[in-house]
Structure 1
Amino acid sequence: MSIEHLSQDAVLKQIIASTPAPKLAFAYDDDPARNRIYLALLESIVSQQISVKAAESIFARFLALFPDGYPHPEQLLTKTPEELRTAGLSGQKARYLQSVAEFALQNPMTNAHLRPMTDEEIVQYLLPIRGVGRWTVEMLLMFVLDRPDVFPIDDLVIRQKMVRAYGLTETGRALYKRLHEIAERWRPHRTLASRYLWRWKPEGVVSEEL
């Protein structure tokens, strides 16, 4: 049903036909001892502005700082900046990670708590965390909470792929308006459309395997 709907867009239909289907989204975990939402936010912060390979290495060293390999919020808050930097984290990212831990101790972060919220309500709920922006929450919505209609327009790769696919010439606000207009055709399956765009490999363009 979703593919049929998206294929009504002739450009996207060609992209879907030439692109491997996206991988399944990560499963969320309601276990309060190992909360996938909390962990995903930590991982997103570690990944900011560095390569995937470097992020994986740093995050693994970060997890290894904890006895059971899981950064329980109360344990994370006891770590000194020096301890966190031994994992390869910058001072700023260390502070951001502890901000997530502080939030987790004071606010519910389980799927059961977030499930009744709209996508935008979840964005506004998590934005007060230092180091967490709209893009970070949108990735959480797409890959952890499996929300079907997220359009991450602030993602540079999504914008670049859409400009190329649709032959757009607009810039600035006019471009954002045009991108939103195109994506309206994809509702209520904008998450899947975006994931196809990430995996699409037009000639000369490196794709994100998502």
Structure 2
Amino acid sequence: MPVEDPPAPGRLIAPSLDDLRTAFALDADVWAAIERIGPCRLRGDDGLEPYEALLRAIAGQQLHGRAARAIFGRLCALTEDRIPGPAELLAHDEQTLRGCGLSGAKIVAMRGVAEARLDGRVPSRAEADELDDETIVRKLVTLRGVGRWTVEMLLMFTLGRPDVMPVDDFGVREGWRRIKGYDAPVRPKALGLETAMFSPWRSALAWYCWRASEEGKKAADVNPLTG
């Protein structure tokens, strides 16, 4: 799962219990997981621009949450504890950005995102809100360091889109395995097919899959001798 859900305030994009019953109750395994885990608390972040979300995502790639937050915090400290705008980011030399803890590859990717925001390839929040999910994916995956998973996280946790199923996410696949009682995680294509019936609330389903995966990790960490 992503390092953490975006903090409030934000737009709660989770369906109501009535919506959940309509979409999920026909699958006894999914409904049992929902009843066990409780209400979905998935939120979009109304205050974040797509450009800013992409910078944060790139900074955190292949890092644990605390390290990712520290690096991004140092980057923001260069502009008085706010996310640097595109021109501000491009004005920093490589040595300064490396001093924040960013690798060369991440610096190249961030600069590419900044340039793309300036020339319009990365939409503003207002522009993105007018685009459908797949259009946003197609626009952004052309950027270096930005894959489909990164854009899907932006769709869910920044733009608050309710019908995203990140089939390549291992946590989602593992959570689905646990929910359904499978011996092994399903392949991404199969996961997409099996979860298509839960549209238009697949973002919530992904959230429950992440929670189910976390339950499995906690159970595995229990010492069988001490509990």
Provide the TM-score with structure 2 as the length reference.
0.80
- For the 8 Å contact 1:19–1:196, the answer to whether it is kept is yes
2:27 maps to which residue? Answer: 9
Alpha-carbon distance change, 189 to 65 in structure 1, aligned in 2, over 3 angstroms: same
Counterpart of 2:198, as a letter, is: W
Shift of residue 163 of structure 1? 1.9
Which residue identity lines up with residue 104 of structure 1 in the other structure? Answer: R
Deviations 1:164-184 (A, max 9, x none): 22233577xx73343122201
Task: Give the direction of change, closer, same or farther, for the CA distance of 1:122–1:203 in structure 2 (3 Å limit).
Answer: closer
What is the RMSD computed on CA atoms of the aligned residues?
Answer: 2.1
**Shift in Å, 1:201:** 5.5
Corresponding residue of 1:97 = 110
Query: How far 1:144 sits from its partner (Å)?
Result: 1.0
Give the Cα separation in 2 of the matches to 1:194 and 1:88. Answer: 31
* 1:54 equivalent among 57, 67, 72: 67
Question: 2-side partners of 1:101 and 1:132: how far apart?
Answer: 13
Higher mean alpha-carbon deviation, 85-94 vs 106-115, is at: 106-115
For 2:126, the equivalent position in structure 1 comes to: 112
Q: Distance in 2 between matches of 1:41 and 1:115?
A: 16
How far off is 1:24 after superposition? 4.2
Identify the residue that residue 43 of structure 2 maps to in structure 1. 25
Distance 1:155 1:78, change over 3 A: same
Could you say which residue in structure 1 is the equivalent of 2:206?
194
* Deviations 1:42-62 (CA, angstroms, capped at 9, x unpaired): 000011101011101110011
Q: CA deviation at 1:195?
A: 0.8
Task: Describe the shift of the 1:202–1:141 C-alpha distance in structure 2 as closer, same or farther (beyond 3 A).
Answer: closer
Following superposition, the deviation at residue 206 of structure 1 comes to: 4.7
Q: Which 4+ stretches in 1 moved above 6 angstroms?
A: none
Q: Specify the code of the residue in structure 1 equivalent to 2:52.
A: L
- Deviation of 1:77 after TM superposition, in Å, equals 0.5
| TM-score, length-scaled by structure 1 | 0.87
With CA pairs under 8 Å and 6+ residues apart, which has the higher RCO, 1 or 2?
1
> CA, structure 1 residues 202+93, in 2 after alignment: closer, same or farther (shift >3 Å)?
closer
Query: Which structure 2 residues correspond to residues 48-197 of structure 1 after superposition, within 5 A?
Result: 48-67=61-80, 69-107=82-120, 109-169=123-183, 175-197=187-209
| Paired residue total | 200
SS in 2 for 1:200: helix
